[in-house]
């Protein structure tokens, strides 16, 4: 425990626990001691994104997650509610299309710059951002030949 001497005022400070919070949450410090004998507990969020290995053909994905699928015959994606109004809410997913193009179903309220077309034998990465100001989802899907 460290002792701090500020002339007339003396205080002791100790570090308590450190825990990992969810991605996208704020860091926090709480004092479980007293003002004169503080014990500080820290909560530090995990990195910006949580990686989720997916296998189901239908999934609701959360913001600030990277969702990874393998080869999929069909994929039905819904978006979970935006998690934090103070930050950009980003939904990311990756999948492969096999010999037959994946049938991809996305929410109708996502705006894409152009029509989404899924082709056979391609690897795809998608990014959907939620714009808090106008409460609109904007997306992009990029594909390239699978190796």
**Per-residue model confidence (pLDDT) at position 57:** 97
Given a contact cutoff of 8 angstroms between Cβ atoms, the answer to whether 51 and 75 are in contact is no
Query: What percent of the chain has a predicted confidence (pLDDT) above 90?
Result: 56
pLDDT over 90 (residue 96): yes
Given a contact cutoff of 8 angstroms between Cβ atoms, the answer to whether 14 and 2 are in contact is yes
Given a contact cutoff of 8 angstroms between Cβ atoms, the answer to whether 88 and 116 are in contact is no
Confidence of residue 100 (pLDDT cuts 50, 70, 90): very high
How far apart are alpha carbons 42 and 16 in whole angstroms? Answer: 8
Tokens 């999929």, residue?
72
Kindly report, residue by residue over 12-50, the tens digit of the pLDDT: 888 888 988 876 678 899 999 998 899 999 988 876 678
pLDDT over 80 (residue 80): yes
pLDDT over 60 (residue 56): yes
pLDDT over 60 (residue 147): no
């Amino acid at each position: 425990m460290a002792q701090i001497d500020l002339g007339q005022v003396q205080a002791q400070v100790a570090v308590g626990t450190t825990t990992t919070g969810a991605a996208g949450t704020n860091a926090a410090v709480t004092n479980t001691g007293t003002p004169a004998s503080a014990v500080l507990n820290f909560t530090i969020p995990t990195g910006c994104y949580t990686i989720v290995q997916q296998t189901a053909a239908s999934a609701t994905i959360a913001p600030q997650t990277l969702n990874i699928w393998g080869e999929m015959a069909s994929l039905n994606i819904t978006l979970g509610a935006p998690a934090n109004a103070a930050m950009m809410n980003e939904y990311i997913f990756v999948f492969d299309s096999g010999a037959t193009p994946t049938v991809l179903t996305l929410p109708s309220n996502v705006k894409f710059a152009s029509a989404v077309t899924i082709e056979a034998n391609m690897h795809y990465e998608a990014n959907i951002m939620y714009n808090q100001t106008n409460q609109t989802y904007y997306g992009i899907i990029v594909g390239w030949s699978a190796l």
